[in-house]
């Protein structure tokens, strides 16, 4: 399992094996940015966003720790920085990420060619992104309280309203829907959107602050609650269970090839592993 270490001026990409052995790869330029979201690419490397440096970029690291950095260049109307947020590997073999400064969803080929697709709602602040069950890419609009959908082949974007809070991370669920979370303490919800755009929200305890979400091996969704210090589960029907107390600020979450759930503990400087009961 791969993860990012986002301390400014000391950014690293980390890898942890099934036995808990951690290997860290420091960024060649520690001032280049703080690595954030990370995904495996079709080329076998890991690709990650760096939203907090200048001019900000997308990073690539091979499994033996060799780094490359890809910058988008300047926009036609001026502005040479990007603020990449979420990133995913698309069904077309390219990387796709969300970008705040130009309010866009961006396609990045493994050779480093950027194509920007502007989100129709100005200032939407797109965040999380994932591949949906329909082959399109789905993303959250943090400032616009919407979920977006972009066609991989054409770049055509459709937006869906109906989200109460500010949606952030998003993932494809085992039920054929997309699931997302609303992290602000006064929001604290898990949301579901069907491919046709119907939104349903499920409230958590006040201040739970869900931070990341992933589909588990058991047909449920698993998510971290930073505020409540919990690893929690939600069934496709919306039944929520706080499964495990987690110290150290549970934040990011991922699922390994063996079905284990891994999570980062951002305040405790630890990585956690949870085995889902069969």
Q: What is the DSSP letter of 75?
A: -
Closest CA to 5 of 28, 38, 29, 54: 38
pLDDT in tens, 5-31: 988 778 899 999 999 999 999 998 877
CA–CA separation, 273 and 127 (whole Å): 26
The angle subtended at Cα 180 by Cα 179 and Cα 182, nearest 5°, is 150
Task: Give yes or no for residue 246 having a pLDDT over 70.
Answer: yes
pLDDT in tens, 108-146: 999 999 999 999 999 999 999 999 999 999 999 999 999
| Minimum mean pLDDT range among 51-55, 106-110, 152-156 | 51-55
Task: Give yes or no for residue 155 having a pLDDT over 70.
Answer: yes
Closest CA to 97 of 149, 58, 155, 142: 58
For the chain, first and last CA: distance in Å? 21
At 53 the pLDDT is 59
The angle subtended at Cα 189 by Cα 183 and Cα 191, nearest 5°, is 110
Closest CA to 198 of 223, 174, 176: 176
Q: By the 8 A CB rule, do 161 and 198 touch?
A: no
CATH code matching the domain that covers 2-274, chosen among 3.20.20.80, 3.40.50.880, 3.40.50.720, 2.130.10.10: 2.130.10.10
CA–CA separation, 224 and 3 (whole Å): 15
At 75 the pLDDT is 64
List, in sequence order, the alpha helices (H) in 167-244. none
Closest CA to 31 of 57, 10, 60: 10
CA separation, residue 104 to residues 25, 88, 125 (Å): 30, 14, 8
Q: By the 8 A CB rule, do 195 and 179 touch?
A: no
Q: Where are the domains of the chain?
A: 2-274
pLDDT in tens, 167-214: 999 999 999 999 999 999 889 999 999 999 999 999 999 999 999 999
pLDDT band at 51 (very low <50, low <70, confident <90, very high): confident
Task: Copy the structure tokens of residue 66.
Answer: 């060799």
Task: Copy the structure tokens of residue 243.
Answer: 């499964």
At 74 the pLDDT is 65
Mean pLDDT of 248-265: 96
User: pTM for the full model?
Assistant: 0.95
Place of tokens 């079905």: 259
Q: How many CA atoms lie within 13 A of 112 on its CB side?
A: 9
pLDDT band at 78 (very low <50, low <70, confident <90, very high): low
Q: How high does pLDDT run on average in the chain?
A: 93
Task: Give yes or no for residue 54 having a pLDDT over 60.
Answer: no
Q: For residues 141 and 278, which has the higher predicted lDDT (pLDDT)? A: 141
At 30 the pLDDT is 73
């Amino acid at each position: 399992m791969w993860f990012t270490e986002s301390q400014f001026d000391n950014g690293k990409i980390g890898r942890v094996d099934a036995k808990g052995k951690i290997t860290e790869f420091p960024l060649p330029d520690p001032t280049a940015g703080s690595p954030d979201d990370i995904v495996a690419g079709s080329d076998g490397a890991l690709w990650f966003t760096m939203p907090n440096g200048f001019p900000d970029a997308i990073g690539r690291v091979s499994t033996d720790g060799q780094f490359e950095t890809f910058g988008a260049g300047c926009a036609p109307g001026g502005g040479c920085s990007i603020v990449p947020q979420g990133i995913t590997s698309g069904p077309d073999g390219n990387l796709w990420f969300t970008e705040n400064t130009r309010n866009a969803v961006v396609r990045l080929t493994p050779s480093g060619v950027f194509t920007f697709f502007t989100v129709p709602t100005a200032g939407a602040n797109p965040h999380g992104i994932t591949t949906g069950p329909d082959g399109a890419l789905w993303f959250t609009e943090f400032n616009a309280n919407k979920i977006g959908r972009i066609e991989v082949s054409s770049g055509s974007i459709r937006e869906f309203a109906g989200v109460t809070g500010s949606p952030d991370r998003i993932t494809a669920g085992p039920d054929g829907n997309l699931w997302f979370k609303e992290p602000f303490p006064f929001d604290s919800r898990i949301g579901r959107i069907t491919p046709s755009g119907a939104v349903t929200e499920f409230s958590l305890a006040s201040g739970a602050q869900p931070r990341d979400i992933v589909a588990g091996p058991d047909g449920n969704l698993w998510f971290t609650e930073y505020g409540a210090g919990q690893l929690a589960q939600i069934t496709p029907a919306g039944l929520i269970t706080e499964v495990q107390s987690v110290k150290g600020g549970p934040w990011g979450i991922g699922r390994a090839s063996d079905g284990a759930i891994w999570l980062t503990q951002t305040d405790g400087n630890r990585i956690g592993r949870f085995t889902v009961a069969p």
